[in-house]
Homo-oligomer: A and B are copies of this chain.
């Protein structure tokens, strides 16, 4: 057997642990395993330059490291690959070329480590006849079929630490601190880190917020003698009127704001008279050494993917349904988004603890 493995999209803590586990498990079965450089890019390059033979020496001691030894330079879409000719960029379909190269390498299966986008591409390749299994990677935890994706726990850890840190500054300076975290479609990072970090307001894409309700919460706290508040906002949180990211700076003038966090801080400052400051955690959430839980999850994902291949259960994603791993069809995984259910007890817990979601 000869396995290929690639990783696509943004960074997520645990990638190297997945690669480590898949490699060691494959080698133990006496199989050969090869990494593809930069998504599918390595399959478009001539010779061996786009391939990384995975050996025990190559993956030794990488499980606790951030990043990925395979690289994930932006590749573009295999079905709509950007090509620049004569100064103009257009897209072409290179999927057949990739499939051809897959066969040329006498590969028996591909392990795709990726998020929503990578799963959609994998689904199409699988339909074209490429035997593959997927491993769910996204710090946003918004993939269906699995309770958790790897990278999420680390992101929550980073965000919780940051929120915890900012508490005392907020309190000493009687300020509102707005912490912008990742989460375009799902509010998991904001919800978990806000709950763990002791936020007063959490804004998530699943619940439209109204600025009035944020201000109401801040005022309620002031009335009970607490002169500071912590707002945690997922980057994808929405207000009913939409999120125009501009600030009026004078007669007819306006300044473009960096993001939702900055906008909310400015609005709070303007309307409440309180000092408000923003911190945007950005790439810090993706980067660095995975937490113990992300390491364990990643190692299990990698090992189980090899197991699924041994059982020829292609077209599936490894899904974590505590306490065990199981196979979940990629075709189903790409049909939905794992958003925070409005009736989940974790949301109830947050509301019971007095956290406002800006909706009431």
Number of copies of chain A assembled together: 4
Contact (Cβ within 8 A) A345 B300 = yes
A44 at the interface (CB under 8 A from B): no
Contact (Cβ within 8 A) A288 B168 = yes
Binary CB contact string for chain A from 263 to 278 against chain B (1 if under 8 A, 0 otherwise): 0000000000001011
Residues of B near A195 (CB, < 8 A) are 295-296, 299
Contact (Cβ within 8 A) B172 A300 = no
Binary CB contact string for chain A from 184 to 222 against chain B (1 if under 8 A, 0 otherwise): 000000001101111000000000000000000000000
A45 at the interface (CB under 8 A from B): no
Contact (Cβ within 8 A) A283 B277 = yes
A60 to chain B, nearest CB (A): 8
A135 at the interface (CB under 8 A from B): no
A344 at the interface (CB under 8 A from B): yes
Q: Which 9 A-B pairs have the closest CB atoms?
A: A67-B168, A66-B168, A165-B288, A67-B172, A196-B292, A169-B287, A160-B292, A196-B295, A303-B349
Residues of A in contact with B (beta carbons under 8 Å apart): 10-11, 15, 20-21, 24-25, 28, 61, 63-74, 147, 153, 156-158, 160, 162, 164-169, 171-174, 177, 192-193, 195-198, 255-256, 258, 262, 275, 277-280, 282-284, 286-289, 291-293, 295-296, 299-300, 303-304, 306-307, 321-325, 344-346, 348-349, 352-354
